[in-house]
Chains A and B, each alone.
Chain A
Amino acid sequence: MTRNRIPFAVLALIIASAGWFIDNLYYIQILTFIGLNTLLALGLNMLMGYAGQISLGHSAFYGIGAYGTAILTVHWHLSPWLALPVTITAAMLVACIVGIPTLRLSGYYLGMGTLGFGMIVNILFREWASVTGGASGFVGIPPLELGTVSFSSTRNYFYLVWGFVIVSFIICHRIINSRVGRALRAIHDGEKAAAAVGVDTSKLKLQVFVLSAIFSALAGFLYAHMVLFISPESFNFIASIRIVTMVVIGGMASVWGSLLGASVLTLLPEWLHAFSEFEMVIYGLILMIIMIFLPRGLTRGLLDIYERAVKKHDR
């Protein structure tokens, strides 16, 4: 049991020292974005990697988190800390309503169903201009404050986001190594077999769907109060695909894969800015090359390479 906690302690230590030693606020901000994306990838990884259910519309929950808190704090003048539970409850409700009929589907049809849901939510953000600000976006979201601590500073926000990430990591880790986690993997390997040994598959699938919606909405909440301006483009189909890509590139069914995938897909565009107009071409190429040569994702792929190297060395 204590051995399992070591990686998380190390991660917490790395985060703390990164916040302490890195002076350049731009780097701190990028690290904060990695944290947000890790939350998104972690949520979807629970659904895709462990339960084997694809979602191509997850940015809808991300958007519900962001727009939810924006509407509650700006139009209704609610405190952000009150808005957080309300938004998350809303995301859970939506996940239930959408999940019950959608999760009966499987494979591409499930992908298409979630994709349609994501598109509809995105169109709502864009068209319901009186509430969401429409295509031009939503301005004036207040920064977070807790007592005397203001999270408008980049460094404080970095600690806040990564605090949430580490807690989520521990929660996911506990779930995966529990009875529920084993049941999820059983669904992944064969839904009928899982049902035959007494797993309530539809209930469990819905629970994981709701769980991943919570993570995404939380990420949306944190995103909105970080950048203080949101627009529908951040939550469109391409954003959903980006989350899926993070999960697959990092490694499915791996908590650490989510972190790795989120890091790679956040850092890559930043680094590729230098290539200006060749940015997209190189980005696409890198995605394809990673998948062609490391089809099981970076985590598993790099481990395989390492193990092979060790074996060669021993011989």
Chain B
Amino acid sequence: MQELLQYFFSGITNGAIYAVIAIGFSMLYNSTELINFAHGEFVMLGSMCMITFVGVMHLPLMPAIILAIACVTAAGLLFERLAIRTVKHPEHIVLIIITVGASIFLRGAGMIIWGKDAFSIPPFSSHPPLDIHGAKLLAQSIWIIAIFLLTSIGLQLFYKKTLTGKAMEANAISKRAAWIVGIPSRLMVTLAFGLSAAMGGVAGVIISPVTMCSYDMGTMIGLKGFCAAMLGGLGSLWGALIGGFLLGILEAFGVGFVSSGLKDATAFLLLLFILYVRPGGIISSVDVKRF
């Protein structure tokens, strides 16, 4: 019972991280029908910025978090402006290879800036872990889940309550119809890129105390996030949440009961299984464009 609870705690912590990353993927997919293979690198940037701001410059926590997310958002906007918008005839596969190029570029830049070593920062607060039925819930896990909840509620409010959010949703449903009613669709795409990168930044910020951060951490965590977005159903925010938590919890039990080496395999086996049973993800919404 105690073990089970411990795995569950570690599962929901990872699940919240995967969910935040998956939201980033889904959000961008909604607006542009593009999968950004450099998304994991934005997570890396967020973590490494935290390392610099907290570990080296010793800024207080809140300004450091805000600054780190702002840096990643700026990187995302720059990427959209320089590499995505300049393509004249955007075909999916071409854009995907561009994002692959960007991920290699960012990884290389990360290596030049921060070197090849792995870093970590102290937890956001130094409270002792909570003891629930003998299982330990770390203070950082509570931080992660709280920030995750805050972000997803914030996003939900943004989409449902603000005019900009509604315009973004309209643009995601039909670009043409949105254009007819006067929504600047190009601006919405830029906004989606910025928000999606910001989500990557948030994920990077919250994991910086719980993992060893290095320039090459982005690939695997990005893939897991992509996996979670797919599990839930690409383009659906609720799907991203469900997919993220499902992946995190099953993975944690996989580590506990099977072996830590096979941890990554459980994620992908689950993915294949769900794809075969429900080819559109758990919440299948729109059908997906072919290449």
Binding site for B on A (CB under 8 A): 48, 52-54, 101-102, 104-109, 111-113, 115-117, 119-120, 123-124, 126-127, 191, 237-238, 241, 244-245, 248-249, 252, 277-288, 291-292, 295
Indicate if the CB atoms of A108 and B103 lie closer than 8 Å: no
Whole-angstrom CA separation of A241 from B38 in the bound complex = 13
Contacts of A116 in B (CB 8 A): 227, 268-269, 271-272, 275
Contacts of B268 in A (CB 8 A): 115-117, 119-120, 123
**Closest chain A residue to B90, Cβ basis:** A295
Q: Given the interface contacts A54-B291, A291-B94, does A115 sit within 8 Å of B223 by beta carbon?
A: yes
Subset of 24 A-B contacts with CB under 8 Å: A53-B291, A106-B288, A109-B275, A112-B230, A112-B275, A115-B223, A115-B268, A116-B275, A117-B272, A123-B261, A123-B262, A124-B265, A241-B37, A241-B100, A248-B94, A280-B111, A281-B109, A282-B108, A283-B104, A288-B101, A291-B94, A292-B98, A295-B87, A295-B90
* Contact with B108, one of A48, A113, A284 (Cβ below 8 angstroms): A284
Contacts of B94 in A (CB 8 A): 248, 291, 295
Contacts of A252 in B (CB 8 A): 93
Contacts of B107 in A (CB 8 A): 280, 284
**Closest chain A residue to B88, Cβ basis:** A295
Known pairs A283-B108, A287-B97, A288-B98. 7 more at Cβ < 8 A? A54-B291, A105-B275, A109-B230, A115-B223, A119-B268, A127-B259, A281-B108
| Smallest beta-carbon distance B282→chain A, Å | 13
Whole-angstrom CA separation of A291 from B223 in the bound complex = 23
Is B91 in contact with chain A by the CB < 8 A criterion? yes
Indicate if the CB atoms of A127 and B261 lie closer than 8 Å: yes
Contacts of A101 in B (CB 8 A): 276
**Closest chain A residue to B104, Cβ basis:** A284
Query: At the interface, is chain A mostly helix, strand, loop or mixed?
Result: helix
Contacts of B291 in A (CB 8 A): 48, 52-54, 107
Whole-angstrom CA separation of A237 from B88 in the bound complex = 29
Contacts of A109 in B (CB 8 A): 230, 234, 275, 279-281, 288
Whole-angstrom CA separation of A68 from B58 in the bound complex = 53
Indicate if the CB atoms of B290 and A52 lie closer than 8 Å: yes
Contacts of B264 in A (CB 8 A): 119, 123
* Contact with A244, one of B97, B219, B230, B279 (Cβ below 8 angstroms): B97
Indicate if the CB atoms of B271 and A112 lie closer than 8 Å: yes
Contacts of B275 in A (CB 8 A): 102, 105, 109, 112-113, 116
Q: Which of B132-146 contact A (CB under 8 A)?
A: none
Indicate if the CB atoms of B288 and A284 lie closer than 8 Å: no
* B contacts with A, residue count (CB < 8 A): 49
Is B253 in contact with chain A by the CB < 8 A criterion? no
Whole-angstrom CA separation of A191 from B291 in the bound complex = 12
Query: At the interface, is chain B mostly helix, strand, loop or mixed?
Result: helix
Indicate if the CB atoms of A291 and B97 lie closer than 8 Å: yes
**Closest chain B residue to A238, Cβ basis:** B219
**Closest chain A residue to B41, Cβ basis:** A284
Indicate if the CB atoms of A119 and B112 lie closer than 8 Å: no
Whole-angstrom CA separation of A33 from B109 in the bound complex = 28
Is B106 in contact with chain A by the CB < 8 A criterion? yes
Indicate if the CB atoms of A281 and B89 lie closer than 8 Å: no
- Listed residue (B89, B97, B106, B289) with the most chain A CB atoms within 10 angstroms of its CB: B97
Is B148 in contact with chain A by the CB < 8 A criterion? no
Contacts of B290 in A (CB 8 A): 52, 106-107, 191
Contacts of A292 in B (CB 8 A): 83, 86-87, 98
| Smallest beta-carbon distance B11→chain A, Å | 20
Indicate if the CB atoms of B288 and A291 lie closer than 8 Å: no
Whole-angstrom CA separation of A119 from B220 in the bound complex = 10
**Closest chain B residue to A118, Cβ basis:** B268
Contacts of A280 in B (CB 8 A): 104-105, 107-108, 111
Whole-angstrom CA separation of A280 from B218 in the bound complex = 15
Indicate if the CB atoms of A54 and B93 lie closer than 8 Å: yes
| Smallest beta-carbon distance B39→chain A, Å | 13
Contacts of A287 in B (CB 8 A): 97-98, 100-101, 104
Is B147 in contact with chain A by the CB < 8 A criterion? no
Contacts of B93 in A (CB 8 A): 48, 54, 248, 252
Whole-angstrom CA separation of A117 from B273 in the bound complex = 11
Contacts of B271 in A (CB 8 A): 112-113, 116
**7 pairs of A and B residues whose beta carbons are closest in the complex:** A280-B108, A284-B105, A287-B101, A284-B104, A281-B108, A288-B101, A116-B268
Contacts of B155 in A (CB 8 A): none
Whole-angstrom CA separation of A158 from B104 in the bound complex = 30
Whole-angstrom CA separation of A245 from B94 in the bound complex = 10
